[in-house]
Each structure stands twice: as C-alpha cells, then as structure tokens.
Amino acid sequence: MKLEKYGWNQYIEKCSLTLNHDQSFGRVFSEYKGQYKLMTEQGSYLAEVTGKFRHQANGREDFPAVGDWVVCRERPSEHKAAIDRVLPRFSKFSRKAAGSTTVEQIVAANIDTAFLVMALNHDFNVRRLERYLTMAWDSGANPVVLLSKADLCADLDAKVASVQEVAFGVPIITVSAIADTGKEQLGAYLGEGKTVVFLGSSGVGKSTMTNWLCGEIIQKVNAARADDDRGRHTTTSRELIVLPNGGVIIDTPGMRELQLWTASEDSLDHSFTDIETLAVRCRFRDCSHQNEPGCAVQEALNTGALSQSRYDSYLKLQRELAFIRRKNNVQERLKEKARWKKIHKAIRKKHE
Ligand SMILES: Nc1nc2c(ncn2[C@@H]2O[C@H](COP(=O)(O)OP(=O)(O)OP(=O)(O)O)[C@@H](O)[C@H]2O)c(=O)[nH]1
Ligand SMILES: [Mg+2]
Ligand SMILES: [Zn+2]
C-alpha cells in the first residue's frame, strides 16, 4: 500500500528524514489513551511511544495526534510498533483540553482542507462561522465553507450571500447528502495525497457526508426526530477514514463550544478583512478600536459604514484571544498596562 493513499504529500516529503534500516513512516489513524492505531506501507499496528520519546516530550502537544506522520519501528509478528518521533506538522487544529485553559489538545494534524460545515436550516449562524474561519486560518489548512442540507433550504441565494459577506475569498459549496447534490465540487479537494477534515456543530451532517463520499456506511448517523433535527453528538471520536479513491477524511464529533487555541492576530485579519482595512487609518498602530482617539473603526461605526453586530463579534473574538494569550504569558499583562499609559498620555497631551 502506497502512503499517498493515506495522504502522504510533498509537505511531508520535504521534512521527511533518512530512516534507519529498521524504521519506517506511518500515520496515526486514531488514538486512545496513549495507544495509537498506525498505518504504514506494511499494514496496521497498535503503537506506543518509546520511553525515550516520553522522556524528551515537553508537553501534550509533543505527543502523537490523529493525522500525525511518525517514524516507527514495526514488530509485524505482534502487530505492534514503537513510535520514535513525530514529523513536523504542516497544519493542525487545536483546542483547549477539557478542564484546562492552557493545555493544548490537537484535534487533527496535517490537514490540507478544512470543511467548515454549517447546515442550511436552524443551525445557520454567520457569527459562529466567523469563529470557525478564524480557527481555520490559524490552523494552516485551507478552509472551505460547506453549507449542508441544501434540500431543506428555501432561500439558498440569500443564505449564500450572507456567508459571502464574512468568508472573503473562501470557496463556498452547497451540498445535500440526502438529495445527492454537490459531490463533484467536493471532488477537487479529495484524493491521493490529500487530507480533509469535517468541522461543525453536532447534527449538521458530517457523518452523513462521510458515508456519502465513501459510498458505504462507515460512520453511525442518528435519525432525526421529525420535530427536532438538532444534533445528538452521535460521533464521539476522531479517526482517519481512507476514501475509495485514496486520500483521507476525518469526521469529528460536533463541537459543543468552539474553544480557540492561540489564534494569532494574523488569522484574525483574514476573517475580519473589512475591519482590518479600516484599521489601517487608526492613529495608533496597535489600536484596539474601543476608545482610542483617532480610531477609524469607531468612526465607521458612527457613520453606520460598519454594523454594530459585526463590530461586536470582532471584539468578542479579540477578547477571547487576548484571554488565552494572557493566560499563557504573564508579561502580556504588563505590556497592556504600559500600552494604555501611552494612550492616556496622548489623550492628555491633546487636551492641553
Ligand atoms: N434533510 C437532510 N438531512 C440530513 C442531511 N445530511 C444529514 N442529515 C440528517 O441530519 C442528522 C444528523 O446527521 P449526522 O451526519 O449524524 O450529523 P453529524 O454532523 O455527524 O453530527 P455529530 O456526529 O453529532 O457531530 C441525521 O438525521 C441525518 O439524516 C441532508 O443533506 N439533508
Ligand atoms: Mg457525526
Ligand atoms: Zn482603531
């Protein structure tokens, strides 16, 4: 079996190292309490990291995660393998681990395309999509907005237009797994050497689409009650699924609450291009667009050029990002203090 079938591509090729005669490359298909299901050219193995690996790891993010490429040593007779190291990740989706605000949990690694799935019925929420887009830009994967359950939507054009408003330049695809429409457009992102992930709330149809693309029932789907098609958290774990024509899909459990992980300012720029364009004209380079003098964003808000709800979601996201940053770095708090001191000084000067 060629590794391209499992998503091996040029990015990984570039960083791949020379192997010892007893080593080979493998990909982590699933994880359960420190036990990994690995796929190599030879077959599938149950694997663990070596003692040396454990000793040298600094944190949870150093350990293998679903989607990782690793260097391992196979023991075919036992169907087991030992993991020596993890290859550098070219993209990753992370969130805060349960019960902790500062431990990074990697949801999926080495993803080429992230399908941000939103259903065209009750689930439809443009503000939430903005948050998913931010997370996607920060991951290193290319986002594609997937509007699912098109068969349930009567005002498709209006919904697509409202998504276009926030998803600048991001491809938007409408599909219905039930009515079997939109599959060809997805095809461009699938195949050998490609890894895609489905992200989105519970019940939007991620598992239904996985089965649809695989041409067989692989993932469990719960039938919706007639009066309520909201999610039930049917999918509970993540696993790589090999597509019939090669390449892999990762179906994920619906996220109850989207908890961002160290999204950078840079990723914020992508999903709030309109605000960032305005911000170029702010007097202070590091303007927070709240109450600094000479703020172009506040001005646009006053003239109505920028909507209040758009501004509010921008601020909300910024607060969340700032919170995570401060938690990770106490220095941030001191810098913040100094920054405001400078601003107040400028305000005083202006009034003198
Ligand atoms: N009408 C319609 N219903 C769909 C479509 N796709 C999925 N559904 C229904 O939506 C419900 C939820 O589908 P799932 O595929 O389990 O959703 P999920 O996103 O995997 O949900 P979690 O695993 O809980 O995160 C099921 O009853 C599906 O039959 C579609 O294209 N049209
Ligand atoms: Mg599911
Ligand atoms: Zn400003």
Q: Is 182 in the pocket of ligand 1 (CB under 6 A)?
A: no
Could you read off the pLDDT of 57-102 as tens digits, one per residue?
Answer: 988 889 999 999 999 999 999 999 999 999 999 999 887 666 665 6
Instruction: Check pLDDT > 50 for residue 227.
Output: no
C-alpha dihedral over 199, 229, 167, 255, to 10 degrees? -30
pLDDT at res. 229: 54
Judge whether residue 302 has pLDDT over 70: yes
Q: In the numeric block, which tokens belong to residue 197?
A: 């992930």
User: Side chain identity at 135, as an amino acid letter?
Assistant: M
- pLDDT in the model for residue 236: 75
Average pLDDT for 140-150: 93
Residue 189 pLDDT > 60, yes or no?
Answer: yes
**Could you tell me the distance, in angstroms and rounded to a whole number, from the CA of residue 157 to the centre of ligand 1?**
22
203 lines ligand 1 (CB under 6 A): yes
Measured in whole angstroms, the distance separating CA 119 from the mean position of its chain's CA atoms is 17
Mean pLDDT across 26-47: 94
Using the predicted structure, report yes or no on whether residue 262 has a pLDDT greater than 50: no
Nearest CA to ligand 1 atom 6: 205
At 159, phi and psi to the nearest 5? -65, -45
Tell which wins on pLDDT, 229 or 85. Answer: 85
pLDDT given for residue 182 in this prediction? 94
> What's the mean per-residue pLDDT of the chain?
85
pLDDT confidence of residue 144:
95
Pick the residue whose CA is nearest to atom 22 on ligand 1.
202
**Is the CB of residue 133 below 6 angstroms from any atom belonging to ligand 1?**
no
Cβ proximity of 149 and 204 under 8 Å: yes
pLDDT score, position 334: 63
Distance (Å, whole) CA 72 – CA 163: 44
Q: Is 146 in the pocket of ligand 1 (CB under 6 A)?
A: no
Ligand 1 atom 30, closest CA: 149
Atom of ligand 1 nearest to the CA of 198: 19
Q: Residue 66: its pLDDT value, please?
A: 95
More reliable by pLDDT, 315 or 259: 315
Measure 197 CA to ligand 2 centroid, in angstroms. 12
In sequence order, the β-bridge partners of residue 104 are: 96
Helix 126-139 to helix 156-166 angle, to the nearest 10 degrees? 50
Residue 289 marked as a ligand binder: yes
Residue closest via CA to ligand 1's atom 29 equals 223
Nearest CA to ligand 1 atom 14: 205
Confidence label for 152 from pLDDT (cuts 50, 70 and 90): very high
What pLDDT was estimated at residue 70? 96
| Residue 152 near residue 179 (C-beta atoms within 8 A) | no
CA of 83 to the centre of ligand 2 (A): 29
pLDDT bracket for residue 118 (50, 70, 90):
very high
pLDDT above 60 (res 146): yes
pLDDT of residue 231: 65
Q: How far is CA 332 from each of CA 230, 287, 319, 337, 343, rounded to the nearest angstrom?
A: 40, 16, 13, 9, 17
Q: What is the pTM of this model?
A: 0.76
Which atom from ligand 1 is nearest to the alpha carbon of 179? 31
Q: Ligand 1: does its nearest atom lie under 6 Å from the Cβ of 40? A: no
Asked whether 241 and 250 are in contact (CB, 8 A), the reply is yes
pLDDT at 322: 67
Q: Which residue has the higher pLDDT, 275 or 38?
A: 38
Q: Are 68 and 28 in contact (CB under 8 A)?
A: yes
CA 228 to chain centroid, in Å, comes to 28
Q: What average pLDDT does this structure show over 7-30?
A: 89
Given a contact cutoff of 8 angstroms between Cβ atoms, the answer to whether 30 and 242 are in contact is no
**Secondary structure in 3-state letters for 17-55:** CCCCCCCEEEEEEEEECCEEEEEECCCEEEEEECHHHHH
Tell me: pLDDT of 275 over 50: yes
pLDDT exceeds 70 at position 308: yes
Residue 188 in contact with residue 182, Cβ under 8 Å?
A: no
205 is in an annotated binding site: yes
